[in-house]
Chains A and B, each alone.
Chain A
Amino acid sequence: MADTLEWDSGAFLREVERRSGTPVSACFQCHKCSTGCPIGPEMDLLSSQVMRLIHLGAEREVLESNTIWLCASCAACTTRCPMQIDIARVMDALRMMAVERKVALPDARGEQFNRSFLRSVRRHGRVYELGMMIAYKLRSRDLLADADKAPKMLAKRKLSLLPKRSGSAGEVREVFRQAEKEERQR
């Protein structure tokens, strides 16, 4: 983290609040979110630290943290926040902002998984798990991890060899097109 922070007169805080629809400025650092976070040990910033850094306008520190990509969206923080801040939704908004601003991601696996998953949904209207997993492995170049899992899953009929297409796949493609258009204007 940088030794000095640039003061941005609240612009970053206002943007995060608008994008997440939740009052980040209400955080008074009780640290309840960090205490209950199951992924805390792996994160470089705890969730309460992310809230504080948003107050301070430390955009780069927040958007380049691995925390926003390690959040499992379990919403324990959101549930327990005494100020009703939807912290899990803040993490979602921060991920989107990090991708839009093309910041250097400390760990690209989450973003690569998202792209592989959504590409599969866009194409078939549903997730074609085997195809999605192969796409993710190629993207992340992580070909050997979990090599023992696929045969087990195939033997248990947990992965089908062919996609199961939704009859509404065409409608889904149009929804993707429109949703992307809307996101560009946010």
Chain B
Amino acid sequence: MRYAFFPGCSLESTAWDFDRSARAVCRTLGIELEDLPDWVCCGSTPAHTSNASLAVALPIVNLLKAQTMGHPVLTACASCYARLRTANHIIRHEPEERDRMRRITGQPYDGSVEVRHLLDVLVNDVGVAALRAKVRRPLRGMRVACYYGCLLTRPPDIVAFENAEHPTSMDDLLAAAGAEPVEWPFKTECCGAAMSITHPEVVSRLGHKLLSMARQAGAECVAVACPLCETNLDLRQGDARKNHDELPETPILYVTQLLGLALGLSPEELGLDALIVSAAPLLAALAEGGIGVATSRGNTR
């Protein structure tokens, strides 16, 4: 399993812990990552909301580089994933845009470079059984709400590795790691995404709604696979608490940080010190032999 790894801008700044833990988990599971040389920003939301040509051209600059490497692209960021997949979709279905992109980038591209999200590769290429066989420290009793957000599952004709309304890949992986994923209704509700900077008041309302529901469902922590979901629920959790009702401190971890713990990797190797809401109480309970053991089931904290 060899992939051209596209980290994206967030993974070298706000989500450096996602980068570190994703690489560590891939190494442990035998997924080989070769960095896409001189990759460039995918354009993210600012490009697709202000310049339709740029929004397709920037991903294509990266896809052309991957084509030379001869490997499928693997990305961990949900936004980069959606933008690269959307560019491929447009190139395959809109001939006029294909011509336009040739004019912009100076090279022909037919939309054939495969783009995969890390979750897709973990669940479909590595597989739940192979992961379970490598678990060294099961996340016994850890009640986790798996939060997928928007861009991993929508729109389904573009991203297509998961059910758009009821995804299960993260739940399946974390269950294999020994955790107890909770059933909750907001798995794919939006966190406000890029409005984090422009409309923080909206993001704190949405964050409060999401975290209250996760808590109500019995979760002690939330697993994410997107840098914006993490930032909006972790960095802005204090605002959500201040602007709305009281809410217990809820650690937000990348799915790779949780899987890494189960695979026996250290908190340093997984960048756990990057979390704003500390995961220390969670890890302490785990060390004592399981969270559900320390507190009463279903009525945690």
Contacts and interface: CB of A to CB of B under 8 A. Distances in A.
Decide if A and B are genuine partners: yes
Interface of A: 19, 21, 38-39, 41-42, 70, 72-76, 78-79, 86, 88, 91-93, 95-96, 99, 109-115, 117-118, 121, 125-127, 129, 133, 136, 140, 145-146, 149, 152-153, 156-160, 164, 166-169, 171-172, 175-176, 178-180, 182-183, 186
A183 B55 CA distance: 11
Given A72-B150, A179-B57, 8 more contacts: A73-B48, A96-B49, A118-B47, A121-B47, A126-B12, A153-B235, A168-B39, A178-B104
B52 A186 contact: yes
A179 B199 contact: no
Interface in B234-289: 235, 273-276
B52 A167 contact: no
Contact of A175 (B16, B61, B149, B190): B61
B51 interface: yes
B216 interface: no
A169 to B, nearest CB: 8
A113 B154 contact: no
A78 B190 CA distance: 14
Contacts of A42: 199, 202
Size class of the contact patch on chain B? 35 or more
A121 B61 CA distance: 13
A92 B49 contact: yes
A117 B175 CA distance: 38
A160 B46 CA distance: 21
B15 to A, nearest CB: 8
6 contacts: A73-B193, A75-B151, A88-B155, A95-B50, A113-B198, A127-B9
Given A39-B202, A145-B200, A99 B50 contact: yes
Contact of B57 (A118, A158, A178): A178
A133 B105 CA distance: 29
Nearest to B190: A74
Given A21-B94, A146-B200, A178-B104, A125 B40 contact: yes
B194 A72 contact: yes
Nearest to A39: B202
B124 interface: no
Contacts of A88: 155
Interface of B: 9, 12-16, 37-41, 43-54, 57-58, 61, 94, 100, 103-105, 149-151, 154-156, 164-165, 188-190, 192-195, 197-200, 202, 205-206, 235, 273-276
B38 A167 contact: yes
**For the complex, would chain A's binding face be called helix, strand, loop or mixed by DSSP majority?**
helix
A98 to B, nearest CB: 10
Nearest to B7: A126
A127 B41 contact: yes
Contacts of A158: 13-16, 274
Contacts of A92: 48-49, 52
A166 B65 CA distance: 13
A182 B154 contact: no
B41 A126 contact: yes
B232 to A, nearest CB: 10
A109 B198 contact: yes
B49 A110 contact: yes
